[in-house]
Chains A and B, each alone.
Chain A
Amino acid sequence: MIQIRHVYKNFRRGDSVVEALRDFDLTIKQGEIVAVIGPSGCGKSTLLNMIAGLYNPSKGRVIYKGSPITDVNTDVGYMTQKDNLLPWRNVRDNIAFPLELAGVAKAEREARADAAIKQVGIDGFETRFPNELSGGMRKRACLARMMLYGAHTALLDEPFAALDAQLKLAMHDLLLRLAADNGQTVVFVTHDLMEAVTLADRVIVCTRRPAMIALEQEIPLSRPRDVLNVRFTNEFKDLYDALWERLRLEYQEDRV
């Protein structure tokens, strides 16, 4: 369980202070998939960075599994739009990296990495380097790595924004499958409402900076979800429209 308790975050940029988050209060249950959506640059990523323990809140507390986060939160896996694979390691060594850090013997970690590689469907590319892979393959490798090191919570920061529509759907399907298999809590940031409603149990709509919660919407669509067809149901459409109505206000103000 992740509790975000009245969190404020300010950044000092030169002489001015930028307020990224204001009185953000949110509780995420174990195993829940939460989408945070809002205009770009509104402070959504800051939220993930605080759950990961990379930033401290200026005010308020982030409580992870009952204890406040004071240092890097090693219980989470973090995936950004930029896929932080180590460019000098091949796919297998990249995916096995967290196991290597934990001191797992070479034979075992390679076997486990290969199994994970198979699961995300990039087998045959074990000895390729990240720059030899397509964007989608790199995402798959990141997912495999995150899964392999047993992160209980996956933080995703617009992970699929750079992918084309078909590839996105494939990644959505993969993500939901992996999260269900591993019982992961998933918090993901996006500005694609379609993506948010397709994946999440709950969608949090943020205001423009400083980010506050404008709306929380449960997504009671049944699981497992068919990412390809769920968007054509009436239920989906109603939820989408309701959220869009609120989100549009934020974007409209943005244009002024």
Chain B
Amino acid sequence: MTSLDDKVDLSVSPPDTGSVAMVLWQTALGIAILFVWQGVSGRFVDNFFISNPLEVGRRLLGWTIDGSIFMHLWATVYATVVGFAVGSVIGATLGIWLGVSIFTSRLLNPYLSALNALPKVALAPLFVLWFGLGIESKIALAAVLVLFLVFLNTFAGVRQVDQDLIDGARLMRATRMQVIIKVILPSTLSWLFAGLRVSVPYALIGAVLGEMIASNRGLGYLVQYSGAQFDTAGVFAVLIVIALLAMLLNFVVDLVQNRMERWRIVSR
């Protein structure tokens, strides 16, 4: 878990764009890389392996003009977003349910550990069998990746709830449901958000992997297809689109998190 989180954090942390000068430097670096790439390609390294920026650009332009990239992009975004939503709802619900019922959580503990240790990607063939080659199997893969992260965070959060607050509410005649909704849920919220935030990139990973395994559309399919055609420029072009999409998702998460900041529980 920790190592995964670390990786996520690295990819998420925004570049230092504090000053205009830094932005200029960053742009300059990007352009320099493109020039070097273009210069090296065909001269020192075979074009077959690294293609070149002009060709990649041409590929992107072509896909944009004929509109095919949007179809693939939409398929991936759809699977990511729906998978994220399904996974977080199930994960949060499970986390709260198991968090409050000690017996059930103890009962299920070994099975949940086993499932959590399982590389979720290995479930992909099963999802293809269950949900077919369509978008549903990609949603399922994205959802299952998200589910465990959100579940673990929510569960830990519920376990951290101050027992005195729960006892206090019970003394004030709160029903069990009221305790869950008005005490446990709000104090778990920051944990839940942390889980949601970490799992967004995993939803994208699930969707893309699902598309790579068996599909006829989506960015994962496109990168797989381009590779199979020995179309290096195509592979690079899709990678750029995926990277942009991932950055966009992170941006959205940051935006949402900033708005949610006031809900964060400030320690007393």
Contact = CB atoms under 8 A, between A and B. Distances in A.
B265 A72 contact: no
A254 B162 CA distance: 32
Contacts of A52: 167, 171
A84 B173 contact: no
The size class of the interface chain B forms with chain A is: 20 to 34
Given A84-B164, A88-B187, A101 B178 contact: yes
**B interface: dominant SS:** helix
B197 to A, nearest CB: 19
A80 B168 CA distance: 10
A88 B165 contact: no
Nearest to B264: A88
Contact of A87 (B171, B182, B265): B265
A38 interface: no
B178 to A, nearest CB: 6
Contact of B265 (A54, A80, A88): A88
B266 interface: yes
A101 B169 contact: yes
Contacts of B165: 84, 86
B268 A101 contact: no
Among B170, B175, B178, residue most surrounded by chain A Cβ atoms (within 10 Å): B170
14 contacts: A52-B167, A54-B167, A76-B171, A84-B162, A84-B164, A86-B182, A86-B183, A86-B186, A87-B187, A88-B189, A97-B172, A97-B182, A100-B182, A130-B268
A102 interface: yes
Contacts of A129: 266
Nearest to A79: B168
Contacts of B168: 78, 84
B253 interface: no
Q: In this complex, which of A54, A76, A84 has the most chain B Cβ atoms within 10 angstroms of its Cβ?
A: A84
Contact of A78 (B167, B183, B186, B266): B167
